[in-house]
Amino acid sequence: MPSTETLHRASGAIALTVGTSATVSPRLLLKPFGIARRDVTGAAEMGWRMFGIRTALIGGAVLAGHADARRAVLPVQFADQLVFAQAGRSGAVPARAANLARAVSGLLIVLGFAIRARS
């Protein structure tokens, strides 16, 4: 069974990877989510970059062992779940994209609960 620290590292690595990708190249990140580059407007790109910066900073802080960042993962992911669900329901993003984003966020939630269960 993985240690709490291993789970924190996995959570931080996922967040840092997704966040960095969204910050550096949101159009490239969104392709596997079924969103074509041509469909990413300037405003959408800026929104994804803002999401990316936040996510990368939290992921980096989790990897660095900052307790506040580690405690922030679950509440942030619950908020992301609501945002992704609404984006999918409203048609702001394709349902596939919203569901994949919720799956990644859900993985971070599962890791967060596993960490809490071991603490």
Q: What is the pLDDT of residues 40-96, one digit of tens each?
A: 788 888 988 999 999 999 999 999 999 999 999 999 999 999 999 999 999 888 888
pLDDT value, residue 39: 80
Give 44-112 as a DSSP string.
HHHHHHHHHHHHHHHHHHHHTT-HHHHHHHHHHHHHHHHHHHHHHHHTSS-HHHHHHHHHHHHHHHHHH
pLDDT at 113 over 90: yes
Kindly give, in sequence order, each residue whose CB lies less than 8 Å from that of residue 66, ignoring residues fewer than 6 positions away: none
Nearest to residue 77, comparing CAs of 102, 47, 114? 102
Q: Does residue 105 register a pLDDT over 90? A: yes
As a whole number of angstroms, the distance between CA 108 and CA 82 comes to: 14
Of 26-35, 83-92, 100-109, least confident by mean pLDDT is 26-35
Report residue 42 as tokens.
Answer: 């300037």
- 83 is in which domain, residue-wise? 4-118
pLDDT at 36: 81
| pTM as predicted | 0.90
Total structural domains in the chain?
Answer: 1
